[in-house]
């Protein structure tokens, strides 16, 4: 049986810290206390240029919405079959 996961890539060097994504999906994203840019909720002091993580495909709709709402293209969602 194949399952799907979603890979969420954060191109942090593009982020302007507007928080639109955090407002939409506070259960996934956070603004880093280190540099004021997007990170994942579980990495709240991250400060490198990029970060990515895999999630259950159930978050795809909200993740896609954040990709669409981001004004700088800093969020990329990629579906993977396993």
Residue 74 touching ligand SF4 (CB under 6 A): yes
Residue 50 or 58 with smaller CB distance to ligand SF4: 50
CB-based contacts of 55: which residues, under 8 Å, 6+ apart?
A: 5, 6, 7, 8, 28, 63
Q: Give the pair of three-digit tokens for residue 13.
A: 């060097």
Phi, psi of 67 (to 5 degrees): -60, -40
Range 21-60, binding ligand SF4 (CB under 6 A): 21, 38
Phi, psi of 63 (to 5 degrees): -65, -40
Residue 62 touching ligand SF4 (CB under 6 A): no
Q: How far is the CB of 2 from ligand SF4 (least distance, A)?
A: 30
Residue 6 or 74 with smaller CB distance to ligand SF4: 74
Range 4-23, binding ligand SF4 (CB under 6 A): 15-21
* Interacting residues toward ligand SF4 by CB under 6 A: 15-21, 38, 70-72, 74-75
């Amino acid at each position: 049986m194949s399952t799907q996961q979603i890979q969420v890539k954060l191109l942090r060097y593009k982020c302007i810290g507007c928080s639109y994504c955090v407002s939409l999906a506070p259960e996934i994203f956070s603004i880093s206390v280190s540099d004021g840019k997007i990170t994942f909720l579980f990495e709240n002091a991250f400060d490198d240029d990029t970060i990515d993580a895999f999630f259950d495909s159930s978050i795809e709709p909200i993740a896609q919405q954040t990709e669409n709402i981001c004004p700088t293209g800093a969020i990329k969602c990629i579906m993977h079959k396993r």
